[in-house]
Chain A
Amino acid sequence: MDALARQIANGLAVGTLYGLMALGLVLIYKTADVVNFGHGDMAAFSTFLGYTLLVLWRWPTLPALIVTLLLAAVLGVLVEGLVLRPARARQAPVLALVVVTLGIAQVLNGSIGALWGRQVKSLPPLVVGPPLRLGDVIVTREQLFNLGVGLTLALALFLFFRLSKYGIALRAVAQNPVAARLMGIGVNRMLAMAWGLGAGLGAVAGLLIAPATFLEPDTMNFVLIRAFAAAVLGGFTSLPGAMLGGLLLGVLENLVAGYIATELKAAFAFALIVLVLAVRPAGLLGRVTPRKV
């Protein structure tokens, strides 16, 4: 029994990280209608910036984190303005958008390698302290902190999209850019904001994931495929769904590893993606929007 409880606890800890990564993917898809295959490398780039401030320049934690998140947002805005806006202006088809984000991934991955090298680095955890006992299960403070951050962000963004003026404007842009513009919404500005927010979420994910794993240019890409699975599981348009999908994937993956085969985690993520998309394309919390023909 306690073995099972431990498996589930470990699964939740890993799943939090998948969910964090999935949040940014969902946010950008929901607002800009782009599946961002560069999300992993954008997150990694921001995390390396954080590494420079925290470890190389020894800044105190809080200012370093704030500056990192701001820089990440700038990166997102730049990507939107320099790459996606011209593509949008030419009404690029879905394939072109996929290829463009793959291109962004390549550019950033190469830049990380050139600027910071490809040796493995380590980032200290943001929260330290002795681990806690919950019954038979031992969890670290870091894991609890990650879970807290993930759930808070998912909830806060959910409320932001539901209630705030900017959130509603973002949804309007996603639904119909032309109508949104006619209602006086600056479409380009809103999309820049969406990418800034998405990139910031990626940075949060990176800063929390890197201490748990290690830091090298491809770190985040290992997580990205799981984040896609998490996002698909949650419906790809629902922010709480992304977090829920991440947690569920983490637990399922750990159970598969514990009881079936340790080494087929990526194959499992793939099987889950195909299964969810085939059986329930809207995921757990997503909603189906019929497309006009």
Chain B
Amino acid sequence: MSARWQAILWGGALVAAVAAAFLLPNYYLYLLGLSGVWAIAALGLNLLTGYAGQISIGHAGFVAIGAYTAALLQGKAGVPFLLALPAAGLVSAGVGVLLGLPALRLSGPYLAIATLGFVVAVEQVFDKWSTLTGGFQGLKVPRPSIGPLVLADDRSLYLLVVVLVGIMTWLARNLIQSPVGRALLALRDSEPAAQAAGVSLTRFKVLAFVLSAFYGGIAGALYGALVGFISPPDFGLTVSIFLVSVMVVGGLASVPGMLVGALLLTLFFQRLSGLRDLRSVLYGLGLILVVILAPGGLGRLPSLCRHLATQVRLSLIRRFSTPCPD
């Protein structure tokens, strides 16, 4: 796709997202807002897994840390939302360094196991540290206010999410096209080759963790603002697996894929929330089928369509072009 078409599509998506705020009923705005939150978290996970090739099934841990940081800063210390939001990202990124350093020595399935342990541990710590976090009873999060403006209704909260999704998407796209992004890609494709080309393994692997943790923290702060209430199970292993699914369904290493994937899966989960067992079976089958039949996810759909269209055109040409009579 040419740069102009991409710009038109992104612009169109933004216009549609803003128009939706005035056209859709509140419940759908809430669902769209939630999709936006998970899209931000998935964008971060995608930097780590899709670009840097490091598997994490513990990403909800970072979302939890961001959510609690923002909630406590706003609720207990009276910090305004516009400061609490980046603070949540930074605290989460700090923990990302702590997890990224031991992760340097791990690869593939071992990293998956360690990050699985991470999310379970984070959930338990927030659950038991009840003097600060309210434990399993959860924590009320104050409505975000920007200056004198308090965002209390669904529409303004949704617009806040749209703005942040826009900023985070733009950042992710720029990052990927920067030397940092190319270094991450090089690491994913071959660590020895990347090192031989002068990419520092230590620095960029840890950086990938830090960046994705920052995204997770921002998503967490936004989740608290949107829902108004957080408790440890909101960010458990299930959510981690959900984020991995968003990434796989949306397509690894595809930025728009994360937005579409988060939207589809959030709607799926909310619409079937009353049918837990059926949802679980369909969800699992869906994951297996996507991985086996469409390993590129939805992000590869445009190129797949183009490929199919070419095939059809070729076969039509072959069918209808009569050989020249002698």
Interface residues of A (CB under 8 A from B): 29, 35, 37, 83, 86-87, 90, 92, 94-96, 98-100, 102-111, 113-114, 225, 228-229, 232, 236, 263-267, 269-271, 273-274, 277-278, 281, 293
**Contact at A266–B121, with CB atoms within 8 Å?**
yes
- In the complex with contacts A87-B292, A229-B117, A277-B105 CB distance below 8 A: yes
Which residue of A has the minimal Cβ distance to B124?
A: A266
**Contact at A110–B278, with CB atoms within 8 Å?**
yes
CB distance from B210 to the nearest CB of A (A): 17
Inter-chain contacts of B112 with A (CB < 8 A):
35, 37, 94, 98
Task: Report the bound CA distance from A273 to B277 in whole Å.
Answer: 31
Q: Is B288 positioned at the interface, with any CB of A under 8 Å from its CB? A: yes
Determine which of A100, A107, A265, A267 lies in contact with B291 in the assembled complex, contact meaning CB atoms within 8 Å.
A100
**Contact at B106–A99, with CB atoms within 8 Å?**
no
Q: Is B11 positioned at the interface, with any CB of A under 8 Å from its CB? A: no
**Contact at B117–A270, with CB atoms within 8 Å?**
yes
Task: Report the bound CA distance from A202 to B270 in whole Å.
Answer: 33
Describe A's contact surface by its main secondary structure. helix
Determine which of B106, B114, B244, B284 lies in contact with A105 in the assembled complex, contact meaning CB atoms within 8 Å.
B284
Tally of chain B residues near chain A (CB < 8 A):
44
14 extra interface residue pairs, beta carbon distance < 8 Å, beyond A107-B280, A267-B124:
A37-B112, A86-B292, A96-B291, A98-B55, A103-B283, A106-B287, A110-B278, A110-B281, A114-B278, A264-B124, A267-B125, A270-B118, A270-B120, A274-B118
**Contact at B102–A278, with CB atoms within 8 Å?**
yes
Inter-chain contacts of A271 with B (CB < 8 A):
121
Task: Report the bound CA distance from A48 to B184 in whole Å.
Answer: 45
Q: Is B128 positioned at the interface, with any CB of A under 8 Å from its CB? A: yes
Task: Report the bound CA distance from A111 to B49 in whole Å.
Answer: 30
Task: Report the bound CA distance from A104 to B286 in whole Å.
Answer: 10
Which residue of B has the minimal Cβ distance to A281?
A: B105
Which residue of B has the minimal Cβ distance to A87?
A: B292
Q: Is B279 positioned at the interface, with any CB of A under 8 Å from its CB? A: yes
- In the complex with contacts A100-B292, A107-B280, A107-B285, A232-B110 CB distance below 8 A: yes
The 22 listed contacts between A and B (C-beta, < 8 Å) are A37-B112, A37-B116, A83-B288, A96-B248, A98-B55, A98-B109, A100-B287, A100-B291, A102-B245, A103-B287, A106-B280, A107-B281, A110-B281, A111-B277, A113-B280, A269-B120, A278-B102, A278-B105, A278-B106, A281-B106, A293-B190, A293-B192
Inter-chain contacts of B57 with A (CB < 8 A):
37, 98, 102
Name the interface residues of B259-302: CB closer than 8 Å to any CB of A: 276-288, 291-292, 295
Task: Report the bound CA distance from A98 to B117 in whole Å.
Answer: 15
**Contact at B291–A103, with CB atoms within 8 Å?**
yes
Task: Report the bound CA distance from A104 to B108 in whole Å.
Answer: 19
Inter-chain contacts of B124 with A (CB < 8 A):
263-267
Q: Is B91 positioned at the interface, with any CB of A under 8 Å from its CB? A: no
**Contact at A92–B117, with CB atoms within 8 Å?**
no
CB distance from B137 to the nearest CB of A (A): 16
Q: Of A229, A266, A281, which is in contact with the most chain B CB atoms at under 10 Å from its CB? A: A266
Q: Is B113 positioned at the interface, with any CB of A under 8 Å from its CB? A: yes
Task: Report the bound CA distance from A225 to B122 in whole Å.
Answer: 13
The 7 closest A-B pairs by CB, nearest first: A110-B280, A106-B284, A270-B117, A107-B284, A103-B287, A113-B277, A110-B281
**Contact at B109–A269, with CB atoms within 8 Å?**
no
**Contact at B287–A102, with CB atoms within 8 Å?**
yes
**Contact at A94–B108, with CB atoms within 8 Å?**
yes
Q: Is B241 positioned at the interface, with any CB of A under 8 Å from its CB? A: yes
Q: Is B258 positioned at the interface, with any CB of A under 8 Å from its CB? A: no
- In the complex with contacts A35-B112, A96-B295, A293-B192, A114-B244 CB distance below 8 A: no
**Contact at A35–B113, with CB atoms within 8 Å?**
yes
**Contact at A29–B109, with CB atoms within 8 Å?**
yes
**Contact at A232–B113, with CB atoms within 8 Å?**
yes
CB distance from A122 to the nearest CB of B (A): 21
Q: Is B252 positioned at the interface, with any CB of A under 8 Å from its CB? A: yes
Inter-chain contacts of A102 with B (CB < 8 A):
57, 241, 244-245, 284, 287
**Contact at A228–B109, with CB atoms within 8 Å?**
no
Task: Report the bound CA distance from A29 to B109 in whole Å.
Answer: 10
**Contact at A103–B284, with CB atoms within 8 Å?**
yes
